[in-house]
Structure 1
Amino acid sequence: MKRDEDKTDRPSVIIIGGGIAGLAAGCYAQMNGMDSHVLEKHVLPGGCCTAWSREGYIFDYCIEWLIGTAPGNEANQIWRELGALDGKEITNFETFNRVVGEDGREVRFYHDPGRLERHLLDISPGDARQIKSFCRDLRRFLNLEVFPFLKPPPLKTLPEKLAMLREVLPASLLFWRTSATQMTDFSGRFTDPFLGRAFPNVFFQDHERFPLLPYLYNIACAHHGNAGFPEGGSLGLARSIEDRYTGLGGEISYRARVRRILVEDDRAVGVELKDGSRHYADHVISACDGYTTIYRFLGGEYTSPAVDKLYSELLHKPGVTYPSMVSVFVGVDGELPPDTPHSTTYLLSEQDSAALPEVMQDSLVVQLRSRYWQGCAPPGKSLFHCTYFSDFGYWRELRTRNRREYWAQKRKVADFARGFLEQRHPGVAGRIEVVDVATPTTNHRYTGNHNGSILGWMGFTEADDLATELVNRQRMRLPGLAGFSMAGQWVGGGGLIKAASSGRFVVQFLCEELGIPFRAWESRDDEPWRPDKLGHLPQLDVRPMQLTEEA
């Protein structure tokens, strides 16, 4: 709204960014009697949680598994409050992932600890001690649900803190030990080199700095059906939350690019868009890229030692932010055999690694996305999604200085994917109908995420600890600036449930400031989800990927 235009007694909030965190903040703001307006630079909601389309195929960019798909836990409660799962079927798999070595050996990471243990012992009986240790800890994690998402620690009452302590204490030694043991150290103890390389790829790609804890937690969630794939995929999730938001009376504007946050007397009072228009509110929430928010929108005037260390030092340190990613979608005429694994990480040979442009980990993830959700491919057809971590700087340099070579490298990726799939699924190459390649610069152009990072700060690093401090000590605010808060992956951590939870947290802090009780309730929409709810899907790059005859 313009200043003093249609001013009501309801607190007004402007939210920068229509990703999951921004939409969640908007939903909770509306539930608590505020007038909110979400400003999104793209033409779709969701940020990285998105999809696009070509020739009837839907290229789902984000969700591989979603924490909170089973009832009875705090993550699921948030999704129900946001309407994210309304009317949707959930797909679950018996394995988390499969890893295949250069020599064809494979390991399947079943989420059932008994089945996993038997399978691993068949592969390497000599590693019984390591295998039984991992599966024993997995059984312990099956009985735990102590990862809170509903309320930030500073707002917990003493009884709530004591109740949490009672839940955590029995598992405190387990948490300490599995968070102190790096996966690289654990996997390095295997006598079978293949198992040693396979274990870090449970999460499809090697997260390098992760300890055992997140692996055990997520596999345990999958065992309970609490890490499934929702019908409609990534954009379907975002559209459902958008519907919930507008149904609560919220307003969202697309193609709304913010130039700066307006500040008067050290208080945020609104934003100025790139078209010159100004919009005012009692409170501004930024749910977009952290560096852009602090140093561009606010000119770097409101920082602290922790913030400066995050964005001046750690942001540029290797292994602190999640890498960017190359995605290759391959649409195929015909269906794959029903026993085709839904997800496989292939450990690449030196020859394959040399042929794949700027591959970082000598591995390629191949997912049969049409098994996740049939609606992502036309009837009777299949869709593969091939991904690998890659260097943002390489692709940015190409796209900036030599656009012709940039497209040539994208074609090289497409050709590689075609040949690679043909080797693993003979006959597929002749049935390929469409190939679409998204590079790290694609992510950066459409979301503004620093260096095209897919999840912001990497968990279990110094940066993750400092970002947590922004929640627990600064209450998601910047020092010296009133009327302003931050939400999203650069504050709350990577992962969709953490993004949604950060939107809840930021409104809870705002309610405390305003002296009003926080309210939230679950959506009651039980209408079955339909593919047309995705709305119009754009084509991000209209130039098709031409495949060479030699590939």
Structure 2
Amino acid sequence: MPDSGKPSVLIIGGGIAGLAAGCYAQMSGLDSRILEKHVLPGGCCTAWSREGYIFDYCIEWLIGTAPGNEANQIWRELGALDGKEITNFEVFNRVVGEDGREVRFYHDPDRLERHLLALSPGDARLIKSFCRDLRRFLDLEVFPFLKPPPLKTLPEKLAVLREVLPSLLLFWRNSARRMADFSAKFEDPLLRRGFPNVFFQDHEQFPLLPYLYNIACAHHGNAGIPEGGSLGLARSIEDRYTGLGGEISYRARVRRILVEDGRAVGVELKNGTRHHADHVISACDGYTTIYRLLGGEYTTPELDKLYGELLHKPEAVYPGMMSVFVGVDVELPPDTPHSTTYLLSAQESAQLPRVMQDSLVVQLRSRYWPGCAPPGKSLFHCTYFSDFGYWRELRTRNRREYWAQKRKAADFVRAFLAERHPEIGGRIDVVDVATPTTNHRYTGNHNGSILGWIGFTEADDLATRLVNRQRMRLPGLAGFSMAGQWIGGGGLIKAASSGRFAIQFLCEELGIPFRAWESPDDQPWRPEMLGHLPQLDVRPMQLTEEA
């Protein structure tokens, strides 16, 4: 890096955490450079294109789209929402059972309660309990993202306590009760299976707390979808970063972190070139960082448990995701549900390669933001949790069979959509399939995991201690810190917040003030701002005659 006289920072990974760290480094008077292995910013927050369709991979809802909260302040500081319209829906998600009955999870608690009672009067006690607590969450904003706990002053900690104490019982009750245990008590089989799928898939370890919090956010318009979608969010932050003087290098795969006398001093890339800096931040895969880039030399018993034991437990780490995009040459009616989780029969599940939860999520992405489908056309994004190991082994052992299984998933989804939307029959333009190995190839995330550690688990607790006790550092290694979902938790706002935290800790260490201000850019967002959109695979899915 050029010698400007300012402290210099190298950031490994241009996902949301790395981009955020870069922006806050620049605002705080540091010189930074981001090294990204892919050709696009954003990591998993990305998109690609084929035949005029934009396959938006990530954002299903974004916490912080409404003003007046800390999450929104971070997005404003990063320029992520500059000039963008926000789309909000009155229904968080719809769940349809095997028999065709459906439940709609409205974010308005009164409407939700009426709807659920009409479906199952016999479950009135549970329904009213859930909606009563949801009403209480509408008045709460106690999930801070702006400053890590170790840096908070005593008055700031007391302010948080004053806000939390009146609702302490509410938080305790809903964080101690797992959704699986709550939903199992419903008499109605649709509600019993439907409630765990409010967040599209079943987040099996979650308590009630995140469901109530996110539905409440949606009620306030604080869980919307920004114009431009996933890659649009990443591009806006990239533009903010470069506008602040930051530099980002693509196709820059880091081979190892350079260490001298117990201090990180730079990195060596795969092509052999070396880059030096005063501080290195790794915002990429956690296991890769600790055991490959650093050779496993800087660990603790907690880290070894986290990455040696819990990383291999399904209940601790989010699985990979199968994505099937289907573009159709018809504009579906405006009242078409934007998101539906279909509960599959055993016969249907047997036709989907390595489906894990006997369900398929169907989202009409062309309702999320204009421009992801050409005029007069529509785009579906269909997803299900799937086993990374199966797809990795298949792709390694038999590439032909790997493609055959991708086609099998594509064929099932095409037929499934045509049965429920007869108007699309024979009018399918394009189908694109991404497996968990696709995610791993382009982002490096362990086993193609979409969100890293599952929240409210032992793994999540251990990762939180790395922030609160270790200050995102590794023992015995100076000049180095970590950021991203493997340390700050899954979700885009947590990733962005972790980048902010990393720079706040660094500024304290350097004895310089941490600075942040909102982006002044109010230029309306335009589709051209997405830039060049590559194809992830040159070989597209072949459309059969039935399509």
Distance 2:8 2:546 in 1: 59
1:452 aligns with 2:448: yes
Distance 1:352 1:166 in 2: 51
Q: How does 1:63-212 map to 2 (within 5 A)?
A: 63-212=59-208
Residue pair 1:335, 1:380 contacting (<8 A) in 2 also: yes
- Runs of 4+ displaced beyond 6 Å: none
- 2:459 pairs with 1:431: no
Match in the other structure for 2:371: 375
Give me the whole-angstrom Cα distance separating, in 1, the residues matched to 2:340 and 2:189.
Answer: 18
Structure 2 match to 1:311: 307
Corresponding residue for residue 10 of structure 2: 14
CA distance in 1, matches of 2:400, 2:169: 56
Matched with 2:272 is 276
Distance across 1 between alignment mates of 2:418 and 2:546 = 12
User: In the alignment, is the contact (CA less than 8 A) between 1:320 and 1:458 conserved in 2?
Assistant: yes
Give distance in 2, aligned partners of 1:155 and 1:52: 39
Which of 393, 397, 400 is the aligned partner of 2:393? 397
Give, in whole Å, the separation in 1 of the partners of 2:209 and 2:502. 27
Separation in 1 of the partners of 2:349 and 2:423? Answer: 23
Partner of 1:243: 239
| TM-fit CA distance, 1:549 | 3.9
Corresponding residue SS for 1:374 = coil
Q: 1:351 to 1:549 in 2, by over 3 A?
A: farther
What does residue 443 of structure 1 align with? 439
Kindly report which structure 2 residues correspond to 1:195-344, keeping only aligned pairs within 5 A, or say none: 195-344=191-340
Q: Distance in 2 between matches of 1:418 and 1:163?
A: 53
User: What whole-Å deviation, never above 9, does each CA across 1:103-124 have from its counterpart, x for those lacking one?
Assistant: 0000000000000000000000
Aligned-residue offset at 1:550: 5.8
Secondary structure, counterpart of 2:110 in structure 1? helix
8 Å CA contact retained: 2:85, 2:227: yes
The alignment's TM-score, normalised by the length of structure 1, stands at: 0.99
CA contact (8 A) 1:457 1:490 kept: yes
Report the AA paired with residue 88 of structure 1.
K
User: 1:156-180: per-residue Cα shift (whole Å, max 9, x none)?
Assistant: 0000000110000011110000000
Q: Distance in 2 between matches of 1:120 and 1:317?
A: 35
* Shift in Å, 1:429: 2.7
Deviation per CA, 1:343-387, whole angstroms, max 9, x where unpaired?
000000111100111000000000000000121000000000000
Identity %: 87
Distance in 2, matches of 1:418 and 1:83, equals 38
Equivalent AA in structure 1 for residue 485 of structure 2: Q
Contact 2:430 2:543 in 1 (8 A): no
Q: AA paired with 1:66?
A: L
Work out which of the residue numbers 39, 58, 72 in structure 2 matches 1:62: 58
Deviation of 1:280 after TM superposition, in Å, equals 0.1
Q: Residue by residue, what CA displacement relative to the aligned partner does 1:145-200 show, whole Å, maximum 9, x if unpaired? A: 00000000000000000011000001111000000000000001101111100000
CA–CA distance in structure 2, aligned partners of residues 12 and 480 of structure 1: 21
Aligned counterpart, 2:357: 361
CA distance in 1, matches of 2:148, 2:486: 16
- Does the 8 Å contact 1:411/1:545 carry over to 2? yes
User: What are the Cα deviations for residues 275-331 of structure 1, in whole angstroms up to 9, with x where unaligned?
Assistant: 000000000000000000000000000001111110001001121111100000000
Residues 411, 547 of structure 1: 8 Å contact kept: no
* Counterpart residue number, 1:483: 479
Partners of 1:407 and 1:382 in 2: how far apart?
A: 25
Whether the 8 Å CA contact 2:426–2:546 is kept in 1: the answer is no
Residues 24-66 of structure 1 show CA distances to partners (whole Å, capped at 9, x for unaligned) of 0000000011000000000000000000000000000000000
| Structure-2 residue corresponding to 1:537 | 533
Question: Following the alignment from structure 2 to structure 1, what is the Cα–Cα distance between the partners of residues 156 and 38?
Answer: 40
CA distance in 1, matches of 2:256, 2:425: 49
Q: Which runs of 5+ in 1 are unaligned?
A: none
CA distance in 1, matches of 2:42, 2:117: 42
1:337 positional shift: 1.4
CA distance in structure 2 between the aligned counterparts of 1:329 and 1:191, rounded to whole angstroms: 36
CA distance in 1, matches of 2:454, 2:260: 34
Q: Deviations 1:480-512 (Å, cap 9, x if unpaired)? A: 000000000000000000000000000000000
1:416 aligns to 2:402 (yes or no): no
Do the aligned residues in 2 keep the contact of 1:414 with 1:547 (CA within 8 Å)?
no
What does 1:499-510 correspond to in 2, within 5 Å?
Answer: 499-510=495-506
Residue 461 of structure 1: aligned partner:
457
Q: How many residues align?
A: 547
Q: Is the 8 A contact 1:39 1:254 kept in 2?
A: yes
Q: Deviation at 1:427?
A: 3.0
Secondary structure at 1:376 match in 2 = coil
Rounded to whole Å, the distance in 2 between the matches of 1:304 and 1:270 is 23
* 1:316 maps to amino acid: H
AA at the equivalent of 2:436: P
Please report the TM-score for the alignment, with normalisation by the length of structure 2. 0.99
Secondary structure of 2:371 counterpart = helix
- Supply the distance in 1 between the matched residues of 2:15 and 2:214 (Cα, whole angstroms): 23
Q: Aligned partners of 2:533 and 2:418: how far apart in 1?
A: 29
Q: Distance in 2 between matches of 1:288 and 1:112?
A: 38
Secondary structure at 1:427's aligned position in 2?
Answer: helix
- Secondary structure at the counterpart of residue 504 of structure 1: helix
Is 2:383 the counterpart of 1:384? Answer: no
Q: Structure 2: how far apart are the matches of 1:445 and 1:46?
A: 14
The alpha-carbon deviation at position 237 of structure 1 amounts to 0.1
In 1, distance between residues paired with 2:7 and 2:210? 39
Contact 2:93/2:104 (CA < 8 Å) preserved in 1? Answer: yes
Give the distance between the partners of 1:58 and 1:319, measured in 2 at CA.
33
* Aligned mates of 2:392, 2:415 — CA distance in 1: 26
Q: Distance in 1 between matches of 2:407 and 2:543?
A: 7
Residue 525 of structure 1 is matched in structure 2 by 521
SS at match of 2:422: coil
Measured after TM superposition, the shift of residue 86 of structure 1 is 0.1
